[in-house]
Amino acid sequence: MGGDKEIRVARVGQSKTEELDRVAVEEPLQLVVDGRPVAVLMRTPGYDGELAAGFLWTEGIVDSRDQIRRIDVESRDNHALVFLEDGVEVDFGRLTRHLFSASSCGLCGKASIEAITTRSEPVSGDVIFREAALMEAPETLRRAQETFEETGGLHASAVFGQEGDLLVLREDVGRHNALDKVLGWALLEGVDLSRSFALMSGRLSFELMQKALAGRLPMVAGISAPSSLAVEFARESNQTLVGFLRPPRFNVYAGMERLELQ
């Protein structure tokens, strides 16, 4: 299924007209782990297996690809059925309710933020990114993000290599879903992200920084502003956080030492 569909819309201005428009698709995905419902993710259909894997990884339910036997997204519509390897212990009690991850707030309903901030170790600081690689990323993202051009309604998350080469891009109606899809791709494909950086099309929140840390991404950049908690989290986790990346300018809120400026 594509990320958008046509609907009839009334345009009101100096005169009223009715025509077809394209809007982003949003549907629920029921995530089931070993027969147990874990979450309902409001997402844009597509790459559901990656979304499931990324969500389980960033939520601390799995730690590696080896713990996942298979992910079935074909048997039931809007379901991702995850089967873990024998012996993998899941702390379902940590998810205190059936987590409903809305497109605007993946953190809604979590028992505590403190439990999340202590889940992953800080990232190492030995990788350096050139300013030029960072500056070229927004245009690369814009060229690759096709659905947004048609609907204006999807967020994008992309991962670039150390020299600025685009590794993967995913779109979704939810920013956190787009990042989960990217991280799920890396987990399933066995790609080490410790010398890569992420670029997000929207605002950078605490949850996005937490997910990036779980994926061992040392740098996260955004076209827009970060939240105060995102900045605090990045500094505590030794992450580099770049906001307002709009060449030829950008702001560095944490981890300046990873950037080689021209």
Rounded Cα distance, 102 and 79, in Å: 16
| Mean pLDDT of the residues in the chain | 86
Per-residue pLDDT tens over the stretch 126-168: 999 999 999 999 999 988 886 545 546 789 999 999 999 999 9
Indicate the pLDDT class of residue 60, thresholds 50, 70 and 90: confident
Fold of 129-260: Cytidine Deaminase; domain 2 (3.40.140)
Rounded Cα distance, 54 and 214, in Å: 10
- The residues spanned by each domain of the chain are 27-117, 129-260
What pLDDT was estimated at residue 222? Answer: 97
What pLDDT was estimated at residue 97? Answer: 41
169: which strand partners? Answer: 158
**Selected residue with higher pLDDT from 162 and 98:** 162
Cβ-proximal residues to 234 (8 Å cutoff; 6+ apart), any chain: 209, 220, 226, 240, 241, 253, 254, 255
**Pairing outcome for strands 36-43 and 99-101:** parallel
Whether 39 shows a pLDDT value over 80: the answer reads yes
Indicate the pLDDT class of residue 58, thresholds 50, 70 and 90: very high
User: 78-82, 102-106, 191-195, 197-201: lowest mean pLDDT where?
Assistant: 102-106
Rounded Cα distance, 176 and 133, in Å: 24
Distance of CA 67 to the CA centre of its chain: 21
Whether 108 shows a pLDDT value over 80: the answer reads no
Rounded Cα distance, 190 and 168, in Å: 13
Average pLDDT over residues 60-77: 95
Structure tokens at 86: 């024998």
Indicate the pLDDT class of residue 92, thresholds 50, 70 and 90: confident
Told to judge if 108 belongs to the known catalytic residues of this protein, a careful annotator would answer no
Cβ-proximal residues to 214 (8 Å cutoff; 6+ apart), any chain: 57, 58, 60, 119, 120, 183
Per-residue pLDDT tens over the stretch 226-251: 999 999 999 999 999 999 999 999 99
Structure tokens at 148: 């947004």
Residue whose tokens read 């990036």: 212
Q: Helices 228-236 and 206-214: crossing angle, nearest 10°?
A: 30
Catalytic residue among 84, 105, 107, 259: 105
Q: 27-117: which CATH number, 3.30.70.1290, 3.30.2320.50, 3.30.9.100, 3.10.20.10?
A: 3.10.20.10
Three-class secondary structure of residue 199 per DSSP: strand
Give the CA count within 13 Å in the CB-facing half-sphere of 48.
30
Whether the CA torsion 42, 64, 187, 220 is positive or negative: it is positive
